[in-house]
Chain A
Amino acid sequence: MNIIVLAKQVPDTRNVGVQAMNDDGTINRSALPAIFNPEDLNALEQALRLKDLYPESKITLITMGPHRAAEILRQGLYRGADEGILLTDRAFAGADTLATSYALSMAIKKLGNYDMILCGRQAIDGDTAQVGPQVATELGLPQVTYVKRIVSLADGKVTVERSIENGIELVKAPLPLLLTVDGSAMNCRPVNTYKMLRFHRAATPTEQAAGDYRYTSQLSSDPALTLREWSLADIDGDASRCGLSGSPTKVRNVENVIFQTKESKRYTASDEDIKSFIGELLNNHTLG
């Protein structure tokens, strides 16, 4: 099995202090510690459990972000991932979920030869839950969202439990596919000391070239210490679909919304209901 896990470095919004937000409503990333997005860790654990069952499996962790996001790849290696790829390029900066999904899917295409892609349901900074489904769409893959547990794998099909309102659904789907894993899944196993003592030396070529990198002499004997670093050109990406220029989402302003009423409405999945729901959101300016 070749398993790809998509992960994101996020500000730890679980411990928000007074300096967490800038005056313009954006997140003050320097005031919050950068962590491995929690649901991405749930996804990694599902991948590691498959590897426990099929030890020949290979887990590749992919993250997109600035150079410092390489720390996420190391964190993944400490827990048992086999290799890491950092997508980093100025052209990727300012990406919304659509541009992010495009870049990730191009990287996955370049990597090729995968059986399963796993990612967290959503990141704690944006809370959109869009990237996983969009990556699957870009790649033309089936997807199962809100996965709680991978139950079994047989005959090129995977059976998973997914969380739904008021219960659990059992879904069987063909490989290759993409799964988004939610926080109800098992916690990720702890960092392993032996792996940490080895892989804290792992670095991208950019980090290795920096003056304070101390482990150059270990690189030839331990190739796993070199993390791959891919730019826009490396993934044959279209610049107009990346970063700010590839992002249709525009944040006009941010305001506090205090919900006045606690009533709820139920809509069915019919086109008619969805149309009326969107109409209502447009009317009260929740959208548009």
Chain B
Amino acid sequence: MNFYTDNKNLEHYLKHPLMQRIVAMQEHDYAQSSEYNYAPIDFAEAVEGYRRVLELVGELCAEVVAPNAMEVENNGPTLCAGRVNYAPATIENLELFRRAGLMGISMPRRFGGLNFPRTIFILIEDIVSRADAAFGNLWGLQDCAETILNFGSDEQKQRYLPKICAGATMSMDLTEPDAGSDLQSVRLKATYSEQDACWYLDGVKRFITNGDSDVHLVLARSEEGSVDGRGLSLFIVEKECGGVHTRRIENKMGIHGSPTCELVFNHAKAELCGSRRMGLIKYVMSLMNGARLGIATQSVGIAQAAYNEALEYARSRKQFGKTIINFPAVYDMVGAMKARLDALRSLLYETARNVDMAGLFDELSRERTLTPQERAESKLFAKKADALTPIVKGIGSEIANMNAYDCVQVHGGSGYMRDYVCERLYRDARITSIYEGTTQLQVVAAIRYATSGFYTQLIEEYLAIDVPAEMLMLHGRIAAMLAAYRQAVERVQSFENQEATDFLARRLYEMAAYTLMSVLLLHDAVADGQLFAKSLHRFVATAESLICGHAAYISAFTPDFLQNYDK
């Protein structure tokens, strides 16, 4: 079994035309092959390398991580004297990934990383999350290293990044009992000691994924007397320096293999990362964008696993003398799962490519001055990345939940039993629409791109594509969806009422998201009809009905409708 080669869809994203440019920039026009014996000499070799690594990950996930998932779930991590002990199967998974050299995927080679683009990191994370979302968290947190790379000092990079590439685990310690979605209220106290020439942290963090990690990124209040986000700075704390212990591991609904910790900082020695007071407003915002894309990817992995489980069950389970996949009520469900999955992937990888390009231009701008044309391009990639990330995180996590729900439904009574994988997927999926910003907060982050007309403009650009005759009708239907969305935006704006806008934001967000997914899936179907055309037909039909429903709701809405709600 191999979770990469058994899913032909994944390879498709390696073939996207923009990949040539992403890889050339990532590889500095292939200049590193003389310095590092594992650096590619050209695009063809780079892609061959990605393919080989994806195949290796697919094998490790199918042969070890997925079979271990049940044991990871049942045994889970334990707490002993303030330290977290992973389940034995988790240790096996981590050790395997360390030995395979999969802990520094996107770090530069000079720090011991593989220097892979973000898009490839996400393909790997897609596969790992399908095998076990909980292990996906522990492994995926290596992405926090980006923050040290982008904002840390040279000395910090030299000290931490090679360790992380060799397998040191990470955590981002943001949430506190009174600072969840509202991180401006973080209270954990940072004090500078002139005598020791270092910072010390005191206080409590809560709900910290992999909280007993080797290298922590901690958001803390460095400016005494400040009350908002401008008084917060970001710190690096190393486990081996002591001062941090785990007081409790939360007893969660799902992702049992991923310890969620309550941490106590007791005069813990810390290093400032970047500049004071920029902790929340700059670094955590960047960290969270990366983490959101990570959760979107985890959602895709879970949605894939749920579809696979449902399809296999529906093709083997017989009732009334035939396998249940032959009943329209069942194949409608299973077909909808696959359509949502494919459309979501189209959106995920489009987001990933934009995040890649934005990051690469950012890096280039630190090496040399960009030309005016490059600056304009860079700005557009960054804007697309910012606009697409809250869409793919929010909608992706909702789709993971829909697929997990339908997967249990296809299994009938068996799906409610703890014997089947689908039951774990159902519980694991539930967190995706909550952590790293709830779906409601993704709507808040996205709505300005709806009201500014940016999503409309983006969809229009995507619609300017030559399509083969058999997809012309679909293209027309997507254009009609865009028209309905545009009309809905205009109507909401015509109220000139902030509460009404906030109230209807979720519906506008979903209309934009489903239209975007439709048009991006159309792009993939134009490139490979064999793989995507059927999903496209099914997805456009569902998206259309959702958009018509929301359009009807908004066209009947007037602000006085809000009186019907008691608070």
List of A residues within 8 angstroms of B99 by Cβ:
189-190, 192
List of B residues within 8 angstroms of A166 by Cβ:
none
Give Cα distance in the complex from A195 to B99, angstroms.
11
**Chain B 340-377 interface residues, beta-carbon cutoff 8 Å to A:** none
List of A residues within 8 angstroms of B100 by Cβ:
190-193
Question: Counting CB contacts under 8 A, is B102 at the interface?
Answer: yes
Q: Which residue of A191, A198, A214 is within 8 Å of B56 (Cβ)?
A: A191
Segment at the interface with B among A83-91, A137-145, A215-223, A239-247: A215-223
Q: In which size bucket is the chain B interface?
A: 20 to 34
Question: Counting CB contacts under 8 A, is A194 at the interface?
Answer: yes
List of A residues within 8 angstroms of B44 by Cβ:
214
The answer to whether B49 and A200 have CB atoms under 8 Å apart is yes
Question: Counting CB contacts under 8 A, is B60 at the interface?
Answer: yes
Query: What's the minimum C-beta distance from A47 to chain B, rounded to whole angstroms?
Result: 15
Q: Which residue of B33, B48, B96, B114 is within 8 Å of A190 (Cβ)?
A: B96
The answer to whether A217 and B41 have CB atoms under 8 Å apart is yes
Query: What's the minimum C-beta distance from B41 to chain A, rounded to whole angstroms?
Result: 7
Q: Which residue of A196, A214, A221 is within 8 Å of B53 (Cβ)?
A: A196
List of A residues within 8 angstroms of B33 by Cβ:
218
The answer to whether A193 and B53 have CB atoms under 8 Å apart is yes
Q: Which residue of B39, B41, B49, B102 is within 8 Å of A215 (Cβ)?
A: B41
Give Cα distance in the complex from A193 to B45, angstroms.
14
List of A residues within 8 angstroms of B28 by Cβ:
none
Question: Counting CB contacts under 8 A, is A258 at the interface?
Answer: no
Give Cα distance in the complex from A191 to B52, angstroms.
10
Question: Counting CB contacts under 8 A, is A287 at the interface?
Answer: no
Question: Counting CB contacts under 8 A, is A233 at the interface?
Answer: no
Central interface residue in A191, A198, A218, A221, by most chain B CB within 10 Å? A191
List of A residues within 8 angstroms of B53 by Cβ:
193, 196-197
The answer to whether A192 and B101 have CB atoms under 8 Å apart is yes
Give Cα distance in the complex from A194 to B103, angstroms.
11
How many contacting A-B pairs (Cβ < 8 A)? 49
Give Cα distance in the complex from A228 to B102, angstroms.
30
**Which chain B residue lies CB-closest to A79?**
B99
Q: Which residue of B34, B38, B60, B96 is within 8 Å of A197 (Cβ)?
A: B38
List of A residues within 8 angstroms of B49 by Cβ:
196-197, 200
List of B residues within 8 angstroms of A192 by Cβ:
99-101
The answer to whether A214 and B45 have CB atoms under 8 Å apart is yes
Give Cα distance in the complex from A196 to B56, angstroms.
10
Tally of chain A residues near chain B (CB < 8 A): 17
The answer to whether A190 and B60 have CB atoms under 8 Å apart is yes
Query: What's the minimum C-beta distance from A65 to chain B, rounded to whole angstroms?
Result: 22
Question: Counting CB contacts under 8 A, is B494 at the interface?
Answer: no
**Given A192-B101, A214-B45, A198 and B96 touching (CB < 8 A)?**
no
Central interface residue in A189, A197, A218, by most chain B CB within 10 Å? A197
Query: What's the minimum C-beta distance from B443 to chain A, rounded to whole angstroms?
Result: 39
Give Cα distance in the complex from A214 to B43, angstroms.
12
**Chain B 48-63 interface residues, beta-carbon cutoff 8 Å to A:** 48-49, 52-53, 56, 60
Give Cα distance in the complex from A22 to B48, angstroms.
34
Give Cα distance in the complex from A191 to B56, angstroms.
7
The answer to whether A200 and B101 have CB atoms under 8 Å apart is no
**Given A215-B41, A222-B37, A196 and B96 touching (CB < 8 A)?**
no
Give Cα distance in the complex from A116 to B39, angstroms.
34
Give Cα distance in the complex from A215 to B39, angstroms.
12
- Digit string of A177-211 for contact with B (CB within 8 Å is 1, else 0)? 00000000000011111111110100000000000
List of B residues within 8 angstroms of A214 by Cβ:
41, 44-45
The answer to whether B52 and A200 have CB atoms under 8 Å apart is yes
Give Cα distance in the complex from A191 to B57, angstroms.
10
List of A residues within 8 angstroms of B41 by Cβ:
214-215, 217-218
**Given A191-B100, A193-B102, A198 and B60 touching (CB < 8 A)?**
no
List of A residues within 8 angstroms of B48 by Cβ:
200
Give Cα distance in the complex from A68 to B49, angstroms.
20
Give Cα distance in the complex from A139 to B100, angstroms.
36
The answer to whether B114 and A193 have CB atoms under 8 Å apart is yes
The answer to whether A193 and B101 have CB atoms under 8 Å apart is yes
Give Cα distance in the complex from A198 to B49, angstroms.
9
Query: What's the minimum C-beta distance from B121 to chain A, rounded to whole angstroms?
Result: 13
List of B residues within 8 angstroms of A197 by Cβ:
38-40, 49, 52-53, 114
List of B residues within 8 angstroms of A217 by Cβ:
41
Give Cα distance in the complex from A221 to B39, angstroms.
13
Query: What's the minimum C-beta distance from A136 to chain B, rounded to whole angstroms?
Result: 31
List of B residues within 8 angstroms of A215 by Cβ:
41
**Which chain A residue lies CB-closest to B53?**
A193
The answer to whether A194 and B56 have CB atoms under 8 Å apart is no
**Chain B 1-57 interface residues, beta-carbon cutoff 8 Å to A:** 33-34, 37-41, 44-45, 48-49, 52-53, 56
List of A residues within 8 angstroms of B38 by Cβ:
194-195, 197-198
Question: Can you give 14 contacting A-B residue pairs, CB < 8 Å?
Answer: A189-B99, A190-B56, A190-B100, A191-B56, A191-B100, A192-B100, A193-B114, A194-B38, A197-B39, A197-B52, A197-B114, A215-B41, A218-B41, A221-B37
Q: What residues make up the interface of A, taking CB atoms closer than 8 Å to B?
A: 189-198, 200, 214-215, 217-218, 221-222
- Given contacts A193-B56, A196-B49, A197-B49, could you give 4 more A-B pairs where the C-beta distance is less than 8 Å? A193-B53, A193-B101, A194-B114, A196-B53
